[in-house]
Structure 1
Amino acid sequence: MPDATSLAEEIVQGKGYVLLPELFTPREISEARLQILQLAAEQPAGRFLKAGERSRLYRLLDEAEIFEQMVEHPRVIEVVEAVLGNDMTLGGFSAHILYPGASNMGAHVDYPYFTMTPPYPATPVMEVQVIWMMEDFTETNGAPLFAADTQKLCQSPDPEKFAKLAHKVTGAAGSVVLSHGLCWHDTSINHSEKPRVSVLGNYNPKFVRPLENSAQQMSPTFLEQASPKLRQLLGYEFESAIFKDVQRLQSNNRAAPECPNSVG
């Protein structure tokens, strides 16, 4: 398998996305998928959003260990950090359910780009999306559509162009797609008779305001027991990180020679 640097280059300078096959076993993924569907059926207030053919389930991290493992999976983290830097944060984490017959969402770019006015900045990269396949993604059950190389356009999707360029990204349960936030993508139609489930992680540089306030949703006990990497991803150490940056900047300024022509 290519190293993290090569995969990061493919995301930024290549086609805009990569597929990492089968990072979890079928049994692990099957159990996690069942838990998502059970939680969605209960419709817990405050973390379930259903809009007709599809739904989103939030606050997964404290439900089962596998969701923590997804968020900080070493293979995923090393690729995302190669794009965003090792102080990046988790912008969002949720399950996405496409029910039988669910249609396309519509081609789009990801947060924070869709809140901005195009043309979007090419650098720095502001988001990497991670799509965990909670079952086999096939040609018929709503596999995601990606239009290769479109992250380089720095523009909102053009529907006609997207229709010509896009193709489905399929894979076995436990696989994951990592993509540039500017790469045009969409869901395809779920022609199957079962819900198609994915788990979505959105990673941003630390200077981008997260789409979800994940740390605030977690209990103090969960945060205390979380790994240092997970605490960082959740922004739990965010104020400390800012303080360290300010200290470093002040230290650099003190070390720099004074400019004789400076004006106070």
Structure 2
Amino acid sequence: MLAPLLATVDPQQALQDLATHGAAILRDALSPAAVREVRQKLLAGVAVSEADGVPTRGYPFDADTHNQRVFHLFNLDPIFAELIRRPVALRFVQHLLGPDFLISNFSANITAPGSQRMQMHADQGYVPSPWPAQPLACNVAWLLDDFTPENGGTRYVPGSQHFGHNPDPALEQTSVAISAPAGSLLIMDGRVWHQTGDNQTQDVQRAALFGYYVRRWLRPQINWNAALWPSTVAGLDPEFLHLLGFYSGNVELQVPNGRRAPVHPPAGLSTLTPSFALGPQDAAGGR
């Protein structure tokens, strides 16, 4: 049996935890003031999302309507586009997926009192088994509240990234709840079995942002061309649009679009390096 997964401030220890557990917790990725700001913007975005016709409750992957999901975060405030590409998060994405990846989704999960557990799953569960030795996807979550066993903190099966297939009901009972303070990053290998926990409290919400990344040849969960408002796209730089897949396929290969409107890749795309999309990382390892 593996030792309990503990939060750490050491990125190297977090990488070791990823290899062993399939998950890692990096403390202090956000300051308390930043947590308050992001949480406030998220809650304000709930009403904006619903007014835009994107419901926040009642999705089939949740057991009830207590759980709240907020999609298309980039439309709601610029802070979300800034968060998902922070070096402190992307260093783990690059470690798991290499330099060529896409932002597949970025959404929020807010568990409310009484919400039940999500179905156990793996984030690359759409891939036929046996799975390859390296992950095809990963999830990096920004915790905006403390995660506890009582308030719906994510549950996972330690070491399940080595099983090579989707969850086995006989082994799901070995799941454990993740405990971590607000402001932490929760990093999960795309093969690890996990689920939203049940919120057993009377009056405590648990909010987190989940950045889902995939290898660049996989289709993203979200069609960003359709989901993002024109005003949002206009405010995003070419490097970020590249991470969203706007310059994938024929554009990367610079194949003409014929009579359709041309899409011009930014200068340097044909000789892409990791720094093109990720930007400079500081000497402290991206923190």
TM bucket, shorter chain? 0.7 to 0.9
Deviations 1:61-90 (A, max 9, x none): 132232122210111111111211212110
Structure 2: distance between partners of 1:9 and 1:122: 20
The alpha-carbon distance between structure 1 residues 40 and 120, as it changes in their structure 2 partners (threshold 3 A), is farther
5 Å-filtered alignment, 1:70-81, equals 70-81=83-94
2:127 to 107, 113, 116: 116
Q: Give, in whole Å, the separation in 1 of the partners of 2:11 and 2:98.
A: 16
Match of 2:227 in 1: 217
2: distance between equivalents of 1:207 and 1:219?
A: 24
**CA-CA distance at 1:124 after TM superposition:** 4.1
User: In the alignment, is the contact (CA less than 8 A) between 2:164 and 2:191 conserved in 1?
Assistant: yes
1:94 aligns with 2:107: yes
Q: Which residue of 2 aligns with 1:36?
A: 42
Residue 173 of structure 2 corresponds to 163
Offset at residue 8 of structure 1 (A):
4.6
2:25 to 4, 19, 23: 19
Give the equivalent residue in structure 1 for 2:138.
128
1:176 Cα offset (Å): 1.3
- What displacement does 1:2 show? 4.3
Q: 1:27 to 1:236 in 2, by over 3 A?
A: same
Please give the residue correspondences for 1:236-251 in structure 2 after superposition, counting only pairs within 5 Å: 236-239=246-249, 240-243=251-254
Q: 2:205 matched to 1:195? A: yes
Superposition RMSD on alpha carbons, in Å? Answer: 2.4
CA distance in 1 between partners of 2:239 and 2:182 (Å): 25
Work out the CA distance in 1 between the residues paired with 2:38 and 2:136: 29
Q: CA deviation at 1:114?
A: 2.3
Is the contact made by 1:8 and 1:83 (CA closer than 8 Å) also made in structure 2?
Answer: no
Aligned length: 240
Name the amino acid aligned to 2:34. E
Q: Does 1:46 align with 2:71?
A: no
Describe the SS at the equivalent of 2:252. helix
Q: Which amino acid aligns with 1:49?
A: T
Report the CA distance between 1:105 and its aligned residue: 0.7
* Worse-matched range after superposition: 135-144 or 219-228: 219-228
Q: What percent identity do the matched residue pairs reach?
A: 23
Bigger Rg over Cα: 1
Is 1:139 the counterpart of 2:149? The answer is yes
Bigger proportion of residues as helix:
1
Normalising by structure 2, report the TM-score: 0.75
Per-residue displacement from partner, 1:9-53 (whole Å, max 9, x unpaired)? 643x42111111121122222232233223324522433231212
Which consecutive residues of structure 2, in runs of 5 or more, have no partner in the other structure? 1-8, 59-64, 256-269, 272-287
**Distance of 1:77 and 1:109 partners within structure 2:** 20
Give the AA of the match of 1:16: G
1:195, distance to aligned residue in structure 2 (A): 2.4
Q: Which whole-Å CA distance do the structure 2 matches of 1:126 and 1:116 have between them?
A: 9
Check 1:237–1:8 CA distance in 2 against 1; reply closer, same or farther (3 A cut): farther
> For 2:10 and 2:150, how far apart are their aligned partners in 1?
29
Consecutive unaligned residues in structure 1, runs of 5 or more: 249-264
**In 2: Cα distance, 1:50 partner to 1:138 partner:** 22
Contact 1:136 1:172 in 2 (8 A): yes
Matching residue's letter, 1:47: V
Residue type at the aligned position of 1:184: W
Matches of 2:241 and 2:16 in 1, distance apart? 27
Q: Distance in 2 between matches of 1:3 and 1:36?
A: 27
